[in-house]
Amino acid sequence: MTDGFTFRIDARDGHARKGEIITPRGTIPTPAFMPVGTRASVKALSPDEIFQSGASILLGNTYHLMLRPGEELIAKAGGLARFMAWHKPTLTDSGGFQVFSLSDRVKITDDGVVFASHIDGSRIELSPERAVQVQGRLGSDIAMILDECPPGDAPRKDVENAMRRTTLWARRQITVERPAGQALFGIVQGSIHEDLRRVHLAEIAALPFDGIALGGLSVGEPIEDMYRIFHDIAPLMPAERPRYVMGVGTPADLLEAIENGIDMFDCVMPTRNARNGQVFVKGGKLNIKQARFLNDPSPLEPGCQCPTCTTYERRYLRHLFMSRELLIHRLLTIHNLHHYGSLMAGARTAIANGQFAEFKKSWLTPRDI
């Protein structure tokens, strides 16, 4: 592994694992959820509020940061963590997801990707090597390779070509010089095809990456297919390296993945959904817009110890949302991230105690909300 980057497993319960990722900037208890700070900011929250939710690492978006404010400015500021006053570990994606999400603005060849900037339409070339170099300037603790992520309904031929290209790029990227202590993770594609996933996992795992991620999930495929890939592929990923599922998902998704041996997650869902009034609670979710909360003096989630639940009532929070007060974005985001942080902390404790199956069932059991 990269000097200064280590991973250890402290406990197992079936396939579920509890451990630690140790980076030069700090230690990440696993399983871990990474809030998404796309543009060097988790919308509406300060770094202290993010940390209080239980997060120990944040994700930044390479595509957006290289466009604005630019990797050179962030490098001059001392790197992403210092630039955003987080001062703890960060992970940067490579821009690969934007190849999928901005497909109408992208041209992909074996040489790399050409984007039309969503800001001003200017032409941007991103080779596999440049993707790693940009992340080096951003100074993240974990960098991701540039990969090709086909949509969930892509024909098998397209999936196979994305695998071939991702492996081609991976072999080029593993040789690119990186800052001292910066780890590099490989990404496994293969969509919903178990046989293709196995083939691509073998190719990526054969390279000396510090961790391995499953990409190309939660991109339009049926949820039962995503869970099948968790069941069939996650336990086959190298046991001595961190295992990461990218862009996933709901609390139920995370618990399913943890049960099958996944260590790391990121998703915009807890923050984006909060801004739309959706709140995650044990056993389900609620929408603060609903009329039933008009005069409800209960906290968002009884028993939750987040600052929102210990301070505010549902009727006040609904008033803020219906009045379009900006404060509501902060308060619901605080709760949702605290919910995900509590989920991860509870999973770690349950794994250590050999009680993960009971914990999963309890967290997902519907409640009267």
What residue ranges define each of the domains in the chain, with the CATH number in brackets? 34-235 (3.20.20.105), 277-364 (no CATH)
Q: Which pLDDT does position 97 carry in this prediction?
A: 77
Q: Which of 13, 48, 93, 141 is catalytic?
A: 93
Contact 286, 52 (CB under 8 A): no
Q: Which residues pair with 20 in a beta bridge?
A: 8, 29
Q: Which residue has the tokens 């800001």?
A: 119
Helices (H), 19-95: 47-52, 62-67, 71-76, 80-83
What is the β-pairing status of strands 26-30 and 16-23?
A: antiparallel
Q: Which pLDDT does position 190 carry in this prediction?
A: 98
Residue 90 in tokens? 């960060």
Verify whether residue 266 is a known catalytic residue: yes
Contact 244, 57 (CB under 8 A): no
Verify whether residue 93 is a known catalytic residue: yes
Q: Which pLDDT does position 99 carry in this prediction?
A: 64
Q: Which pLDDT does position 116 carry in this prediction?
A: 81
Q: Which pLDDT does position 136 carry in this prediction?
A: 98
Q: Which pLDDT does position 324 carry in this prediction?
A: 98
Task: List, for the chain, all residue ranges whose pLDDT scores fall below the cut of 70.
Answer: 99-100, 102-103
Q: Which of 13, 141, 210, 266 is catalytic?
A: 266
- Selection from 150, 145, 171 nearest residue 160 by Cα: 150
Q: Which pLDDT does position 332 carry in this prediction?
A: 98
Q: Give the SS3 label for residue 15.
A: coil
Q: How far is CA 48 from CA 31, 167, 172, in A?
A: 21, 39, 38
Q: Which pLDDT does position 15 carry in this prediction?
A: 98
Q: Which pLDDT does position 123 carry in this prediction?
A: 87
Cis omega (within 30 of 0) on the bond before 186? Answer: no
Return the DSSP state at 105: G
Q: Which pLDDT does position 333 carry in this prediction?
A: 98
Q: Of all residues in the chain, what percent are helix, strand and coil, respectively (each to 5)? A: 40, 20, 40
Q: Which pLDDT does position 106 carry in this prediction?
A: 85
Q: Which pLDDT does position 105 carry in this prediction?
A: 76
Q: How far is CA 263 from CA 65, 163, 268, in A?
A: 26, 23, 18
Q: Which pLDDT does position 119 carry in this prediction?
A: 85
